[in-house]
Amino acid sequence: MRKFVADLHVHSLLSPCAAVEMTPRNIVWHAVQHEVDIIAITDHNACDNVVAALEAAKGTEVTVLLGMEVESKEEVHLIVLFEKMRQLKAWEQFIKSHLSGRLNDAERFGAQFIVDAEDNFIAEKTELLLTSLTVGISEITSQVKNLGGICIASHVDRPTYSIISQLGFIPPDVDLAAVEVSRNMSIAHAAERIPAIGRLPVITASDAHVMDDFVNGPKTTFYLEQPTIEEIRQALLAQNSRKVVV
């Protein structure tokens, strides 16, 4: 059992609001340099650069988790994480069936680049990703659970795109493994300052869109046996000596 430093909310250049420097290879390289043990690539409503990150991390001590940040029809942002590629692929098909169908305006929203593990350009994704899905948070969290993943409410302390800002509370039928706070709030103070999160576990992450955010942004330290989703799930529940280190 040991400590693992994790950033579970990192955007690559597939997210239209992210800088072109946010390539999978560059993210992994900076994770190595700054001793970040676990990262999750969580692009908006897409996961096309996750495989490149997995490939880029081979031969390093960095573990890449399979992830995505989705936006529900209520305009709530949620981080979803999976252990296995088949789970992520099934999730990707679910998301594709609930996209708006609109095309991206790169000049207005930013380009959406897919690259390989060597940062070579593969394609520019044409579907508009920076938008809400046609499905709500209850169905999203239920589907994530059915596929064996975990769901974390993004940046609940922010005035936009959070479950608290949009709804004012967390509905009882929304199955969350944790909530995330931004750099503006500490994990230790979250429950006191945001009573609506109740007894849900709290993490923090960089929500990096540029490399400086990733390098200097907040991370969560976990006490785990191995860097896996199942171990993180147990740590969030403070089970079997696993825990979030506050």
Residue 20 burial (C-beta neighbours within 10 Å; 0-12, 13-18, 19+): middle
Domain count, the chain: 1
Q: Within 13 Å and on the Cβ side, how many CA atoms surround 231? A: 18
Q: How far is CA 50 from CA 64, 103, 229, in A?
A: 8, 22, 16
Q: Which two tokens stand for residue 127?
A: 């579907």
Reply yes or no on whether the pLDDT at 29 is more than 90.
yes
pTM: 0.97
pLDDT tens for residues 120-140? 999 999 999 999 999 999 999
For residue 22, the domain's CATH number is 3.20.20.140
Percentage of the chain exceeding pLDDT 70: 100
Q: How confident is the model at residue 246 (pLDDT cuts 50, 70, 90)?
A: confident
Q: Which domain holds residue 164?
A: 2-245
Q: Which two tokens stand for residue 71?
A: 């936006």
Cα 49 to chain centroid distance, Å, stands at 13
Per-residue DSSP letter, 72:
-
Output Rg (C-alpha) for the chain, integer angstroms: 17
pLDDT tens for residues 72-92? 999 999 999 999 999 999 999
